[in-house]
Structure 1
Amino acid sequence: MKLVNHYIISLLTLVGSVTQVAGQQQKPNVVLIYVDDLGYGDLGSYGATKLNTPNLDALASEGIRFTNGHATAATCTPSRYSLMTGNYPFRQTGTGILPGDAKLIIPQDKITLPKVFKDAGYQTAVIGKWHLGLGDQVDKDWNGSIKPGPLEVGYDYSFIFPATADRVPTVFLENHHVLGVNKADPIMVSYNKKVGSEPTGKENPELLKMKNSLNHGHDNTIVNGIGRIGWMSGGKEAKWVDEELTLTFADKAIRFIQDHYQKPFFLTYNATEPHVPRMPATMFKGKSGLGYRGDAILQLDYTVGQLVKTLKDNKVYENTIIIFSSDNGPVLDDGYDDGAVSQLNGHNPFGPYSGGKYSAFEAGTRVPFIISWPKMIKKGTTSDALVCQVDLLSSFASFLNVKYPKGEAVDSENTWRSFMGKDLVGRSYLIKASGTLSVLKDNYKYIKAGKGAKRNSLVNIELGNDEVDQLYDLRTDKGEKINIAKNNPEKVNELKAILEKEMNK
């Protein structure tokens, strides 16, 4: 009898284990493809006719395409901060565009998007651009262990570059260490003064293979024939080559999928395109007819196709959620003479909206937003629901039954039903921080009065600032040309009250 009981107990234990494993396998993989400076009108699925983006258009046709999807800010660091923390960027100081030597701005003791997945048993990785700071101070030894960083805020593996491609240090960082460090050629970085004897764009413009076009600070240390922001010396073997950046990141992402597809994984792929300096691989140069910016978008589209192919080859595509969006809207000439303006050829990256990167107007934060999950989302869905990247944290936490303390991720709302195409309304309102603050509700847009410049003359973008309150009806005025605040005081007061409430939360 004891042997029989032991056999039954063992069998029940085995069945329970198999059920648990099967349950784990039912969790969808999640791939977040977060791109840099891509505009609402840059994809064929969003109206582009001069650019061919078949892989991204296929992703949209196989899932849900949002027409009212947003980043929280019109520049990269604050948007990425919101994505990671579930908080609007104005809730923490130091969330503006960071230099390449900044310290980590993501709290280590609070919930983050990757921690949601890690707590749910996922394997987590980030590959590509970071730009959220590293270490616990500005001065750091780039030749040793650099932490805290991605591993301390929820990722199991990271392969990144520290800031942006136009800022030093131009190196790869795998987990806590820079690749290719040589003690005989130590890396030094400064954003205050020149270090070492490397040539600079200001002193040696004849060495540049891509000329600077604006006073953006791209005249410091030259790397790979391109002037950067900030100064760097040493690390000759560690410096990456711009034309190889995307191919390197894509290879790492593909390998991660191949090595981890048997268990649920969360992969953040932070693409560099089409941020400056735009220096695509040779196979894409000249292919778009729209200068290097267009070529970079073709490169991005190709990379997305390779990631999708890898998921399909490993038979996990059907149960993988792919989220595609951009950290902010587009900019053409952002400091380098790369043909973005002279070879625009009728392409309109801004779609029907005004502004762009740096702007409070809609083109600054309304961006492509696509979610694909073949197993669950109806193909070819278009949604006007108001959704935001800040809501990914709460939505996935709800879906995966992950709890986090009250008072954390306070701005992240559970919009899971909208993400799945079941709710076509979404958020009731959204606060956006792009220089000045704005509120979007029921297709009305309120922009708080401020004294900032009305136009960024360097990049030729309207910033949306004005000394009076602004109100626009986006149903009839997508370009935000007619300020109706004066004739609609009740609506202005309603949206202003929402903003004040959120500011005092």
Structure 2
Amino acid sequence: MLLRSVLRRAILLSETNTVMAKNFVIIYADDLGFGDLACYGASGIPTPNLDRMAAEGLRFTNSYATAATCTPSRYSLLTGSYPWRNPGAKILAGDAPMIITEDEPTLPRILARAGYRSAVVGKWHIGLGEGAIDWNADIRPTPLDVGFDESFIMAATNDRVPCVYVDGRRVANLDPSDPLEVRYAKENPFSEVPTGRTHPELLTTWHSDSQHWDAIVNGVGRIGFCRGGKSAQWDDETMAEVFLERAKGFISRSKEQPFFLYYALHQPHVPRIPSPRFRGATALGPRGDVIAELDWCVGQLLEHLRAEGLDEDTLVIFSSDNGPILDDGYADQARELCGCHRPSGPLRGGKYSVFDGGARVPMILRAPGLAPAGQESAALFSHADLPTSLAVLAGIAPEQAACVDGVDMSAVLTGQDEVGRESLVTEGIGARTVLRHGTWIYIPPHPGPARFADKDTESGFSPEPQLYDLTTDIGQRENLASYCPARVQSLAEELAAIQADTHHAYPHS
């Protein structure tokens, strides 16, 4: 143990005395809100493992995904580029092409310069292939073509077809005699295959909108149509354990060299189908149960790091791709059973929204010897900063780790900088942008309804500019735009300048 400690301290100091880390793990939840964890004030859902992680690390209160929806925020997490710079960075279908270009910097590509081995396990949703995908042959490009050495993923989301795991370049467990076909269309192209629209009696989970009644997989209506590939279809109830075991396996195989693991959880995205062991774990119904399951997954992964003797050498970050949503397509009583639980905490809005609850998310960092334990950081931080910041902590020079919009916030991650960014940009659905500058939030005029009727949630869209001071109005209830026209103009000009700066942006067709 003494030798391990001495070696670790040697690794943590470069020639310039910059604090460094050996391994990195990003655990990324799906649709988890600012107020969903006990360590962020929740009382209805037990999250002991994440609470312990917070007690042993840094808990951030001003951490932002770049978007209030999944594909855009995940694109930024890996590339360090704001999603609105890439027209393809929108909520993708399950058969959409890859939106990361061949020469675009990504976190695994940058870390490879320092000898890191990288893997992604879990939700991908950044596209596969270059067009029409043959799911029965090798798929190119996949995560293996954007810097990852190992990849075990779902192509998109658990409510979209194909409902299969993609292991490297191939669909796992696929029977060649039962080829898989996938289509996204208005009408079912496979007339002999029943759907939720035509055969609702086959559904065991009922939909609450007009999207989730296409292909039926495991009694659940999904978005999109498919035929064949029965042997490859996943089991929703075992998905958490399947992804967890693959993540643990990568850690065990890679422990002799620096590694980066992107562990992309599927919880609490719909359909919310927990393992039987977590069914009824909370009084909040399936949504609460899958968050309890999520917490267990985090605990199991942290325990595996300890068992492998790596917990002292590994920087672990937990966060979410966007804010919460209760009704996102299935009638699972998330709203009815929510009670006093507030998924967004004190924030207004959630998934899809331009209000702060859409992109402001929990973030916890555990890094023994690098970051202080049991402390809170109010530093302003964007997930687009993670590629450059982690690369610097790996000993890579900042100029070699540069991304389009992400900046070096390594001092924030180690608790040395309590301020962070001066400003950052987020977006609601449809690339509707928002600027946060200091404690001010500026929302430009955006067309669209004030509420999403089918989701029963606020969009935040308004034909008038919106200005909020989070110092006195964290819930964004008082629009100060008409009282502060000079500030509105200044922030509008700042946002326009950021959007006009394409000098270093990567072209996307």
Scaled by the length of structure 1, the TM-score of the pair is 0.93
Q: Please point out which of 179, 188, 193 is paired with 2:181.
A: 188
Provide closer, same or farther for how the CA distance between residues 404 and 234 of structure 1 changes in structure 2, counting only shifts above 3 A.
Answer: farther
Is residue 154 from structure 1 mapped to residue 147 from structure 2 by the alignment? yes
User: How much has 1:497 moved relative to structure 2?
Assistant: 1.1
Match in the other structure for 2:487: 491
The aligned residue for residue 388 of structure 2 is 394
Match of 1:40 in 2: 34
In structure 2, what is the equivalent of residue 233 of structure 1? 227
User: Alpha-carbon deviations, 1:264-289, whole Å to 9, x = none?
Assistant: 11000000000000001000011111
Instruction: Indicate the residue corresponding to 2:472 in structure 1.
Output: 476
Q: Distance in 2 between matches of 1:406 and 1:136?
A: 29
Number of corresponding residues: 486
| Preserved CA contact (<8 Å) 2:320 2:362 | yes
Secondary structure of the 1:294 match is helix
**Selected match of 1:286 from 268, 273, 280:** 280
Residue of 487, 498, 503 corresponding to 1:502: 498
Separation of aligned partners in 2, 1:75 and 1:358: 6
Q: Secondary structure at the match of 1:246?
A: helix
Structure-1 separation of matches of 2:213 and 2:399 = 46
Give 1:403 deviation, angstroms. Answer: 5.5
Q: Which residue of 2 aligns with 1:12?
A: none
Contact residue 27 and residue 264 of structure 1 kept, 8 A: no
In structure 1, the partner of 2:408 is: 414
Measure the CA separation in 1 of the matches of 2:281 and 2:104: 45
The answer as to 2:345 corresponding to 1:351 is yes
Q: Does 1:209 align with 2:204?
A: yes
Q: In the alignment, is the contact (CA less than 8 A) between 2:97 and 2:130 conserved in 1?
A: yes
Deviations 1:86-118 (A, max 9, x none): 110111111110000000001121210111221
Match of 1:462 in 2: 458
Q: Is 1:95 the equivalent of 2:80?
A: no
**1:136 partner amino acid:** E
> Which residue type is aligned with residue 435 of structure 2?
V
**Residue 256 (structure 1) shift:** 1.2
Query: TM-score under structure 2 normalisation?
Result: 0.93
Aligned residue in 2 for 1:336: 330
Please give the alpha-carbon distance, in whole angstroms, between the structure 2 residues aligned to 1:27 and 1:411: 23
SS in 1 for 2:479: coil
Aligned pair in 2 of structure 1 residues 498, 467: CA closer, same or farther (>3 Å)?
Answer: same
Q: Which residue does the alignment assign to 2:135?
A: 142
CA contact (8 A) 1:430 1:439 kept: yes
AA aligned opposite 1:158: S
Query: What are the Cα deviations for residues 29-61 of structure 1, in whole angstroms up to 9, with x where unaligned?
Result: 111001100000000000001111000011111
Identity across aligned pairs (percent)? Answer: 45
How far apart are 1:243 and its partner, in Å? 0.4
Cα separation, 2, equivalents of 1:404 and 1:322 = 21
Compute the displacement of 1:343 (Å).
Answer: 1.3
CA contact (8 A) 1:124 1:157 kept: yes
Determine the C-alpha separation between the residues in 2 that align with 1:27 and 1:376.
Answer: 8
Q: Does structure 2 retain, via aligned residues, the 8 Å contact 1:37–1:357?
A: yes
- SS of the residue 1:268 aligns to: strand
For residues 307-318 of structure 1, what are the structure 2 equivalents within 5 Å?
A: 307-318=301-312
1:61-140 to structure 2, matched below 5 A, reads: 61-137=55-131, 139-140=132-133
2:169 is aligned with 1:170:
no
Q: Contact conserved, 1:111 with 1:404, CA < 8 A, in 2? A: no
For 2:437 and 2:12, locate their aligned partners in 1 and report how far apart those are by CA, in whole Å. Answer: 39
Q: Work out whether 1:257 is the aligned partner of 2:255.
A: no
Moved more, 35-44 or 492-501: 492-501
Give the C-alpha shift of residue 406 in structure 1: 8.7
Contact 1:329 1:367 in 2 (8 A): yes
RMSD: 1.9
Letter of the structure 2 residue corresponding to residue 360 of structure 1 = V
Instruction: State the distance in 1 between where 2:306 and 2:390 align.
Output: 23
CA distance in 1, matches of 2:334, 2:179: 36
Deviations 1:217-249 (A, max 9, x none): 100010000000000000010000100111100
CA distance in 1, matches of 2:89, 2:395: 29
Does the aligned pair in 1 maintain the 2:110–2:401 contact within 8 Å? no
C-alpha contact 2:21 2:315 (8 A) present in aligned 1 = no
Q: 2-side partners of 1:198 and 1:295: how far apart?
A: 32
Give the corresponding residue for 2:506. none
Q: 1:476 to 1:202 in 2, by over 3 A?
A: same
Aligned to 1:16: none
Give the drift of 1:504: 0.6
Structure 2, gaps ≥5 residues long: 1-6, 14-19, 502-509
1:242 aligns with 2:252: no
Q: Distance in 2 between matches of 1:402 and 1:115?
A: 12
1:50 and 1:182 map into 2 onto residues whose CA distance is: 43
C-alpha separation in 2, matches of 1:164 and 1:327:
13
Per-residue deviation at 1:376? 1.7
- 1:198 Cα deviation from its structure 2 partner: 2.4
In the alignment, does 2:367 pair up with 1:373? Answer: yes
Q: Structure 2: how far apart are the matches of 1:207 and 1:399? A: 52
- Tell me how far 1:405 sits from its aligned partner: 7.5
How far apart, in 1, do the equivalents of 2:370 and 2:266 lie?
Answer: 30
User: 1:408 Cα deviation (Å)?
Assistant: 6.3
Please state whether the residue corresponding to 1:482 is helix, strand or coil.
coil
Tell me the distance in 1 between the aligned counterparts of 2:398 and 2:51: 36
Whether contact under 8 Å (1:189, 1:195) holds in the other structure is no
Q: Secondary structure at the match of 1:237?
A: helix
- The answer as to whether partners of 1:37 and 1:273 remain within 8 angstroms in 2 is yes
> Which residue identity is paired with 1:221?
A
Instruction: Give, in angstroms, the shift of residue 339 of structure 1.
Output: 2.0
